[in-house]
Amino acid sequence: MLIYDPLFYAVSIPAVLLYGIAKGGFAGPLAILGVPLMSLVISPLQAAAILLPILCVQDMISIYSYRKSFHLHNLLILLPAAVIGIMLGFFWFSFLSEDNIRIFLGSLAIVFSLNYFFFSKASKTTTVSLAKGSIWGTISGFTSFGIHAGGLPYNIYMLPQKLDHRVYVGTGAIFFGLVNLIKIYPYYLLDQLRIENIIIALFLMPFAPLGFFIGYKLTQKIDGEKFYALTYACLLAIGIKLLMDGI
């Protein structure tokens, strides 16, 4: 059934804009707000399903833009691990009720936000690691499946390597582009790629490039660190709300 509730669009349009702004290079953590925000008014799985086609289109643009700048060794470690994480996410969500999913996503949002406020300190430079890459790649695939928020585990592994900026961004573009494509079939098996969800995604899709343009402009005018703090404060509030609704 198509959704006609104005409240749904009041939260969904900003959610899509946030993903676009993040893809535009400003305040990447903004994207983590998308699914939790939409989960305030619809099923978390439906929210993730509606956003998935939009993310796939955005990813194709990002992959094309950075097709010559990526770190192959990291991708060869991260991608197989992410597939395992996606499979775990599929089986996990298959057996959870909507309230249990809200509890899980709310808890995840709270953990992510508290991690930012208390543990996001500069770390020493590291190198490619099969063990660390496999662990964080799996976690990234798992959290990406449920909330399209694989960025934090990915960053925990990748940022300390202090790669060239374009290589770092390009590796992320390819990684998440392929991860989102892989997620399509499990979402289909969960009966979330219904025609009504795809129609809603198509309606919301034009707001993604608008968000990209806004993000590109904001990178030149606003202090990203202050905006990160506001983003994670909002994420904490949404996480608490989801947790309470689920309980």
For the stretch 72-124, pLDDT in tens is: 999 999 999 999 999 999 998 888 777 887 787 788 778 878 877 887 655 56
pLDDT score at 85: 95
pLDDT score at 135: 94
Q: Please determine, for residue 24, whether its predicted confidence score (pLDDT) is greater than 70.
A: no
Q: Whole-number mean pLDDT of the chain?
A: 83
Q: Please determine, for residue 132, whether its predicted confidence score (pLDDT) is greater than 70.
A: yes
Q: Please determine, for residue 25, whether its predicted confidence score (pLDDT) is greater than 70.
A: no
Tokens encoding 132: 């660390």
Confidence of residue 141 (pLDDT cuts 50, 70, 90): very high
pLDDT score at 225: 65
Highest average pLDDT, of 49-63, 95-109, 120-134, comes from 49-63
CB-based contacts of 119: which residues, under 8 Å, 6+ apart? none
- Is the separation of the CB atoms in 20 and 209 below 8 Å? yes
Q: What is the DSSP letter of 203?
A: H
pLDDT score at 73: 95
- Rounded to an integer, the average pLDDT of 207-227 is 73
pLDDT score at 163: 83
Backbone angles phi, psi at 103, to 5 degrees: -60, -45
Tokens encoding 93: 């969500």
In this structure, the number of other CB atoms found within 10 A of the CB of residue 185 comes to: 12
pLDDT score at 10: 92
Tokens encoding 147: 């909330």
- Furthest CA-CA distance within the chain: 51
pLDDT score at 1: 63
pLDDT score at 121: 58
Q: Please determine, for residue 217, whether its predicted confidence score (pLDDT) is greater than 60.
A: yes
pLDDT tens for residues 179-190?
Answer: 999 999 999 998
pLDDT score at 224: 56
Backbone angles phi, psi at 120, to 5 degrees: -85, 65
Q: Please determine, for residue 202, whether its predicted confidence score (pLDDT) is greater than 90.
A: yes
Q: Please determine, for residue 66, whether its predicted confidence score (pLDDT) is greater than 70.
A: yes
The full DSSP string for 109-161 is HHHHHHHHHHH----------HHHHHHHHHHHHHHHHHHS--HHHHHHHHGGG
